[in-house]
Amino acid sequence: MAVRAILLAGGLGTRLHPLTVELPKPMVPVLGKPWLSRLIDQLAAFGVTDITLSLRHGRQVVTDYFRESPPGVRLRFAVEPQPLGTGGAIRFAAGPDPTDTLLILNADIVQTFDLNALLEFHRQHRAQVTIGLVEVADPSAYGAVELDKNSRVTRFVEKPRPGETDSRMVNAGVYVFDPGVLSWIPPERPVSVERETFPALLRDGVRVYGCPCTGYWKDIGTGDRYLQLHRDILEGRCPIPVSGPVRGPAHWQADDADVSPDARIMPPVYIGSGAVIEAGAQVGPRAVIGAGCLVAKGARISDSVLWDGARVGAGATVRHSVIGFATGIGGGTVENVLLAGWR
């Protein structure tokens, strides 16, 4: 079956402010490369090369970055005229008369699912909609999805109370739609696919199935989750590959990084191209230093991510924080913050 992907990339990302005031959340860097770019690479590796990006907030950042489509990929942009919600964005991005099967992904969710297995599940079950599912310990923060013995969805339980459902399966933000299902989404107005479209499909007897997915899965919509993603990569729990020369166990460092022999490097760490680590500085554990960053004399960085061009002054300490592009810290201690601009 012909497949077209729609990546929902237009959300505001308010829980990552100030980092995402202008930057769309799916464009936050993961080891220096925008997650959206990594997601497109992932789709291409599965043979899905016809991709539409649904955009609104920060659209210029995305269109500038992808001025040219990646090799072998047909990339299109669908810019919402107004906020349309997940359902409205899907219908708008699909265009007037789609004929391809639609693979839809929330672009701010990092996952390493076998997407071909999801598409095959959809085909074998003759589903009209397939929802990718993940199992969580506590579904109360999400919404549980109940299935029958044939994996057909029977009920959605929004933020269930204890004892309300036995299901620990939740919506993973990855869907397969037959194009005819789009007629259930009203045009040109905001629609939530989760709260409005899916319940309507169940009421009308549409064949909605749930496919349990295995692999890594994390919503990177908060600073804590974004930092946890990088810890998981550095410590081997997330199989996103780490590029660059390996200088020791869990120590990745670009060849052109300037690291003083008197600096202390405590793995796991990633040090990007052109970064400067001065004498007496301590980097790590669990630190990501982006390209062109400066960690000055005696500074300490741990459990943190520095985006490209960030600068940490002499003697400063950064713990459990994300420091934005070209952001400078003159001194003192920064802990548990998301920072953009000079401090």
Can you tell me the distance from the alpha carbon of 109 to that of 220, in angstroms, rounded to the nearest whole number? 6
Do 70 and 147 have their domain in common? yes
Do 126 and 192 have their domain in common? yes
Do 211 and 81 have their domain in common? yes
In degrees and rounded to multiples of 5, residue 91 shows phi and psi of -65, -45
Can you tell me the distance from the alpha carbon of 275 to that of 43, in angstroms, rounded to the nearest whole number? 31
CATH number of the domain at 268, please: 2.160.10.10
Do 293 and 329 have their domain in common? yes
- Here the tokens at position 227 are 């930092």
CATH number of the domain at 167, please: 3.90.550.10
Q: What pLDDT is attached to residue 158? A: 83
Answer yes or no: are the C-beta atoms of 53 and 35 closer than 8 Å. no
Do 204 and 286 have their domain in common? no
Q: Is residue 47 part of a domain?
A: yes
CA 331 to chain centre: 31
Residue that finishes a domain, picked among 219, 254, 271: 219
Do 289 and 334 have their domain in common? yes
Do 112 and 249 have their domain in common? no
Dihedral sign for Cα atoms in the order 240, 243, 248, 253: negative
* Domain extent for 210: 3-219
Per-residue pLDDT in tens (0 to 9) along the chain, 343 residues? 799 999 999 988 889 999 999 999 999 999 999 999 999 999 999 999 999 999 999 999 999 999 999 999 999 999 999 999 999 999 999 999 899 999 999 999 999 999 999 999 999 999 999 999 999 998 888 889 999 999 999 999 988 888 899 899 999 999 999 999 999 999 889 999 999 999 999 999 999 999 999 999 999 999 999 999 999 999 999 999 898 899 999 999 999 999 999 999 999 999 999 999 999 999 999 999 999 999 999 999 999 999 999 999 999 999 999 999 999 999 899 999 999 964 4
Q: Is residue 204 part of a domain?
A: yes
Amino acid at 206: V
Do 246 and 215 have their domain in common? no
Q: In this structure, how many other beta carbons lie within 10 angstroms of the beta carbon of residue 179?
A: 16
Do 259 and 324 have their domain in common? yes
Can you tell me the distance from the alpha carbon of 66 to that of 64, in angstroms, rounded to the nearest whole number? 6
pLDDT in tens, 125-141: 999 999 999 999 988 88
Residues in the chain: 343
Q: What pLDDT is attached to residue 343? A: 41
Amino acid at 326: A
Q: Is residue 31 part of a domain?
A: yes
Q: Is residue 106 part of a domain?
A: yes
Number of domains the chain is built from: 2
CA 66 to chain centre: 17
Answer yes or no: are the C-beta atoms of 227 and 235 closer than 8 Å. no
Burial code (b: 16+ CB inside 10 Å, e: under 16) for 46-70 equals: bebbbbbbbbbbbbebbeeebeeee
Can you tell me the distance from the alpha carbon of 76 to that of 128, in angstroms, rounded to the nearest whole number? 24
Q: Is residue 184 part of a domain?
A: yes
Q: What pLDDT is attached to residue 163? A: 84
Q: What pLDDT is attached to residue 136? A: 93
Residue that finishes a domain, picked among 219, 251, 276: 219
Q: What pLDDT is attached to residue 291? A: 98
Q: What pLDDT is attached to residue 13? A: 83
Do 52 and 184 have their domain in common? yes
Can you tell me the distance from the alpha carbon of 340 to that of 324, in angstroms, rounded to the nearest whole number? 5
Q: Is residue 319 part of a domain?
A: yes
Q: Is residue 174 part of a domain?
A: yes
In degrees and rounded to multiples of 5, residue 41 shows phi and psi of -60, -40
Do 162 and 288 have their domain in common? no
Dihedral sign for Cα atoms in the order 96, 97, 100, 101: positive
Q: Is residue 233 part of a domain?
A: no
Do 272 and 213 have their domain in common? no
Residue that finishes a domain, picked among 184, 219, 254: 219
Helix (H) or strand (E) holding 53: strand 50-55
